[in-house]
């Protein structure tokens, strides 16, 4: 992936944390220090789109039994040594052999109950289903988790080639920030929707996402 836009520095810690809805301190811990849990710090500073995808997957892991990141780190290293897959969280092998090995080792470290194992697998499936891949099976777009109030789970997308990698309303290319800035400036929802050729529901999704981020 050398020279790939997906590995180029594009996001500050605070911005990236807001986009995927994790605390800033959490993301700083995952990506900081001499041995970051995810990502490889790009030259010039900032986080890449690929690191954002890894953090999106880690967010799901963190929700099951509060999986400690030290245990996740050990499991990822184990999978890398056994299968030679670096940055497993970027790859769709997480749902096949690589994922099986990763989950088995994680289970040994934190002693997941049977129901916990099922919950973790389901969360990973749902999380990875939000990641769209190119012909090389590498991520090119993903749909961040939205507030429960949204009826459309894929209302917002992040693509490094659209709007400089900022969240947009899926299928439109209109950034959620641009929509909210106009609403906050006092413009009517109907006027904003008409200008961007969006529906009222799409405007509401942008507002919900930005409010929760």
Which sign, positive or negative, has the C-alpha torsion 187, 188, 191, 197? positive
- Taking the chain (213 residues) in consecutive chunks of 10 residues, what is each chunk's mean pLDDT? 81 94 91 82 75 92 69 83 84 75 74 70 84 92 83 90 96 96 96 96 93 82
Distance CA 42, CA 26 (A): 19
Instruction: Extract the tokens encoding 9.
Output: 């520095």
Instruction: Quote the pLDDT of residue 44.
Output: 57
What pLDDT, on a 0 to 100 scale, did the predictor assign at position 37? 86
What pLDDT does residue 1 have?
44
Burial (CB < 10 A; 0-12, 13-18, 19+), residue 30, is buried
């Amino acid at each position: 992936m050398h020279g790939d836009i997906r590995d180029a520095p594009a996001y500050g810690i605070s911005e990236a944390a807001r986009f995927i809805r994790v605390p800033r301190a959490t993301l700083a811990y995952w990506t900081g220090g001499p041995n970051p849990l995810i990502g490889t710090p790009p030259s010039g500073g900032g986080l890449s789109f690929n690191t954002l995808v890894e953090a999106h997957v880690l967010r799901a892991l963190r929700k099951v039994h509060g999986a400690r990141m030290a245990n996740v780190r050990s499991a990822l290293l184990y999978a890398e040594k056994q299968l030679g897959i670096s940055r497993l969280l970027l790859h769709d092998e997480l749902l096949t052999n690589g994922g099986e090995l990763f989950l088995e080792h994680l289970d040994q470290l934190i002693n997941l109950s049977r129901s916990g194992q099922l919950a973790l697998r389901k969360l990973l499936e749902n999380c990875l289903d939000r990641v769209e891949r190119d012909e090389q099976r590498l991520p090119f777009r993903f749909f961040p988790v939205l507030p429960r109030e949204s009826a459309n789970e894929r209302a917002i997308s992040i693509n490094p080639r659209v709007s400089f990698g900022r969240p947009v309303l899926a299928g439109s290319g209109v950034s959620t920030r641009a929509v909210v800035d106009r609403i906050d400036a006092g413009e009517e929802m109907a006027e904003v929707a008409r200008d961007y050729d969006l529906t009222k529901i799409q405007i509401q999704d942008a507002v919900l996402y930005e409010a929760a981020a």
